[in-house]
Amino acid sequence: MVSSTIILIFCLVAFAFIHSALASLPSKRLIVRFLGSKAETLYMPVYSLIAVITILPLIYLFYKNPGPILYIIPSPWRWMMVGGQVITAIVAPRALLDAPHRFKIILQLAGPNTPESESLKIRGIYRWVRDPFLLSGLIIIWLTPFMTVNLLVIYILASIYLYLGSVHWEKRLVAQFGDEYRDYQKRVHRVIPHRRSY
């Protein structure tokens, strides 16, 4: 059981490394250099496909070696938890629609107050929470209505990775939007939905 947990950890770390490397600004600069304007339309689908492909070994290994069961939530609470996961999965893509300019490569590579830059444009879900992807990821993970030893290890590491990814992403947003984003950080929480003046 210990060896299966170590293998799962290795697969998760490998996924995190590949995922982070492809999301880095140096990688995006390289992609823009080679693909030019096509980078904007090709990057996200290819990035998502690579993420799915690299997570599949982890899913398969967990399926083969789930580890001892820690708990199984009984009905009706189980279905309430699954319902929360489904609602979150439906609402989460809203974050892309509410702030598409945050995910455009050319804008990420531009600094604040440059000809290519845009204003922050706080709207939709971002009025309530700064990182809806972190929030939705944590909800989907921790509302799983059963838990095994290996799944718990995966979820703890995944939660840490999601949080560290959020911190890194916010540093990039500060570089992209400058003081406008720093002011936004003071007004809206990172992960706990809360609205102040937006």
Which residue reads 């838990």 in tokens?
147
According to the model, what pLDDT value does residue 111 have? Answer: 64
**Cβ distance 15 to 54 under 8 Å?**
yes
CA dihedral 92, 174, 129, 29 (to 10 degrees): 0
According to the model, what pLDDT value does residue 189 have? Answer: 93
Least Cα distance to 8 among 136, 155, 138 occurs for 155
pLDDT at 197 over 60: no
Region 154-158: mean pLDDT is: 94
According to the model, what pLDDT value does residue 1 have? Answer: 53
According to the model, what pLDDT value does residue 116 have? Answer: 63
According to the model, what pLDDT value does residue 196 have? Answer: 61
Question: What is the overall mean pLDDT for the chain?
Answer: 88
| Phi and psi angles of residue 23, each rounded to the nearest 5 degrees, phi first | -85, -10
Residue 34 neighbours by CB distance under 10 Å:
9
Q: Sign of torsion, CA 171 177 182 184? A: negative
Q: With bands split at pLDDT 50, 70 and 90, how would you rate the model's confidence at 10?
A: confident
Longest Cα–Cα distance of the chain, Å, equals 57
More confident position, 85 or 46 = 85
Q: With bands split at pLDDT 50, 70 and 90, how would you rate the model's confidence at 112?
A: low
What CA–CA distances, in Å, run from 49 to 52, 123, 156?
Answer: 5, 28, 24
Q: Which two tokens stand for residue 108?
A: 């990420």
Stretch among 52-56, 66-70, 103-107 having the lowest mean pLDDT: 103-107
Q: With bands split at pLDDT 50, 70 and 90, how would you rate the model's confidence at 85?
A: very high
According to the model, what pLDDT value does residue 44 have? Answer: 86
Stretch among 92-96, 115-119, 185-189 having the lowest mean pLDDT: 115-119
More confident position, 35 or 81 = 81
Q: With bands split at pLDDT 50, 70 and 90, how would you rate the model's confidence at 195?
A: low
Share of the chain above pLDDT 90, in %: 40
98-109 residue pLDDT tens: 988 778 887 787
- Sequence-distant (≥ 6) Cβ neighbours of residue 69 within 8 angstroms: 146, 147, 148
The residues pairing with 147 across neighbouring beta strands, listed in sequence order, are 71
pLDDT at 117 over 70: no
DSSP 147: E
